[in-house]
């Protein structure tokens, strides 16, 4: 079987065991790809056994955007899949994404579906953080619901043999066309160490008229904030970084109006 034309990029900062769990799931659930790239973003202790083809090491913590960018820069594949290191994937998660992108050449990104986001596996509201600050209540998964996810979704490739296009799931993993980055650039590295960098990228994509979606034929699980709240306490954790980078976003775009931002998250793709 030929390798899928995909490079997988997984940044991490400390949390070695969680990163290994993420990479282990990738290896178990993914056919052979062209490369797996891990970006160790200045961990206190540089580990060596990272189950990857390429390991990039930062001498100090640079943040999510620079780490993603460094991994993307090394990719020579047609597609690049970007992961948070606290994300787990189900069997057969990648093939439907690649097939869908091959059949829909005008779509620059599609994501793996996060069932817990819509209350399918014992979620809770994670707060206080950006969702509470924005007045939005999003159901986030947490560790105990992971057992439910493993039982119900981790070995389920295509539910009922159907492929359904869903509203875009913010949180990844995402599969991007490399050509897209050539057109609009990489992640904006002013949004560090984390928060708002992906929103900024998606807004730039939306301004090009591009459509985003998730597929329910691809399942994943995101623990959420597996690193930020533990290692960025001086910055205020998730909530503190949210406000710091929100100010940067407002200076760049002139607004953080959530109704405007939600437009690109829910765009209809009827007629594809």
Query: Quick one: pLDDT at residue 141?
Result: 41
Is residue 97 assigned to a domain?
A: yes
Whether pLDDT at 12 is above 90: yes
pLDDT cut 90: percent of the chain above it: 38
Is residue 272 assigned to a domain?
A: no
Is residue 270 assigned to a domain?
A: no
Q: What is the pTM of this model?
A: 0.82
Is residue 269 assigned to a domain?
A: no
Which segments of the chain does DSSP mark as H helices, in order?
16-29, 64-74, 94-103, 130-133, 143-152, 178-184, 197-207, 228-231, 237-253, 258-263
Please report, for the domain that includes residue 229, its CATH number: 3.90.550.10
Neighbour-count burial of 95, counting CB atoms closer than 10 A to its CB (0-12 exposed, 13-18 middle, 19+ buried): middle
Question: Would you say 113 and 175 are in contact if contact means Cβ atoms under 8 Å apart?
Answer: no
Is residue 86 assigned to a domain?
A: yes
- More confident: 225 or 260: 225
Query: Quick one: pLDDT at residue 67?
Result: 98
Whether pLDDT at 201 is above 60: yes
Is residue 118 assigned to a domain?
A: yes
What number of other Cβ atoms are within 10 A of residue 23's Cβ?
A: 21
Question: Would you say 60 and 47 are in contact if contact means Cβ atoms under 8 Å apart?
Answer: no
Is residue 271 assigned to a domain?
A: no
Is residue 126 assigned to a domain?
A: yes
The domain of 57 spans: 4-263
Highest mean pLDDT among 38-47, 109-118, 173-182, 199-208: 173-182
Question: What does the CA dihedral 268, 180, 35, 158 come to, rounded to 10 degrees?
Answer: 10
Number of domains into which the chain is organized: 1
Mean predicted confidence (pLDDT) in 218-235: 70
């Amino acid at each position: 079987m030929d390798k899928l034309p995909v490079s997988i990029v997984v940044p991490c900062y400390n949390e070695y065991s969680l990163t290994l769990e993420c990479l282990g799931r990738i290896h178990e659930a993914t056919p052979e790809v062209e490369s797996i790239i891990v970006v160790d973003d200045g961990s206190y202790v540089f580990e060596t056994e990272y189950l990857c083809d390429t390991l990039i090491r930062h001498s100090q913590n640079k943040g999510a955007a620079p780490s993603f960018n460094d991994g993307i820069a090394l990719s020579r594949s047609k597609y690049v899949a970007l992961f948070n290191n606290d994300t787990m994937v189900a069997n057969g998660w990648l093939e439907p994404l690649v097939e869908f992108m091959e059949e829909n050449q005008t779509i620059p990104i599609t994501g793996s579906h996060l069932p817990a986001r819509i209350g399918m596996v014992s979620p809770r509201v994670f707060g206080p953080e950006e969702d509470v600050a924005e007045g939005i209540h999003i159901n986030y998964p947490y560790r105990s619901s992971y057992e439910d996810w493993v039982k119900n979704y981790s070995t389920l490739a295509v539910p009922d043999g159907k492929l359904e296009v869903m509203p875009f799931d913010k949180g990844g993993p995402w599969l991007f066309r490399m050509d897209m980055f050539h057109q609009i650039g990489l992640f904006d590295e002013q949004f560090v160490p984390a928060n708002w960098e992906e929103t900024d990228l998606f807004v730039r994509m939306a301004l090009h008229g591009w459509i985003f979606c998730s597929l329910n034929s691809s399942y994943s699980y995101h623990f959420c904030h597996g690193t930020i709240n533990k290692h960025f306490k001086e910055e205020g954790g998730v909530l503190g970084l949210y406000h710091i980078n929100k100010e940067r976003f407002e200076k760049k775009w002139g607004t953080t109006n959530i109704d405007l931002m939600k437009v690109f998250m829910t765009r209809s793709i009827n007629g594809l």
